[in-house]
Amino acid sequence: MILIKPSFKIMKILGGDFTETTPLHLIERAGRTCYKSESLFDKNSAKEFVKRILKKGHESVIEHSAITVKFIIDRGVSHELVRHRLCAFSQESTRYCNYKNNMTFIIPPWINLSPGEYLTDYIDTRQIDREASTWFLGLKYAQDTYSTLLSFGWNPQQARSVLPNALKTELVVTANFREWRHIFKLRCAKSAHPQMREIMIPLHKKCMQVIPIIFDDINY
């Protein structure tokens, strides 16, 4: 059994090569079409233009650029994330992936266990608390049950019915800037699930670093 923390990687940002052309320039060129103000475009005008359109609520213009992110999260979090409509999703399939040899699970923020490979069936309860021990043993039982069902002749799409939400899944998400704003507003909020906030708050902060203006006004 392998235990890991969730993670993400920004795979692609649509809209430029980040030298002379950036996503903000693409958005500005598209937005100025609405006002026929293309003559006012220059290499330094994008930030102020995008600030103005966001202040006006003219967010359809920022749909011209998009971000693709690869998440490594547990399946419970992925079930919430795929409910967002205006996204493209590609997810690791429990129908076709065989987890017989060694399962990987995501450690939630309230469980005091270190990432790593656990080769033994036994955890010294003197080293961890009762809750972490109980959680670990539940996952171990699920892993063993899954492997036993496969040995009976079940295929992965049948045996997956015993897999828990904590199972690691890989999920690639592509959405335009406007939809990412919507996602961050919902999924970084204090009322969001703790595991969702654990991955979305760092992603929001990273997006603020690499793409100025677009996500700066989102607070939680």
Task: Name the residues annotated as catalytic.
Answer: 187
Report which of 6, 13, 4 is spatially closest to residue 202, judged by C-alpha positions. Answer: 6
Phi, psi angle pair for 173, to nearest 5°: -125, 130
E strands in 29-86:
66-74
**Neighbouring C-beta atoms of residue 153, cutoff 10 Å:** 8
* Cα(65)–Cα(2) distance, integer angstroms: 37
Which residue type, as a one-letter code, is found at position 166?
A: A
* Cα(183)–Cα(77) distance, integer angstroms: 13
Element spanning 106, H or E: strand 104-106
Element spanning 11, H or E: strand 7-13
Q: Which two tokens stand for residue 203?
A: 């992603």
Strands 116-117 and 2-4: antiparallel
Provide the phi-psi class of 130: left if phi over 0, else alpha when psi is between -120 and 50, else beta: alpha
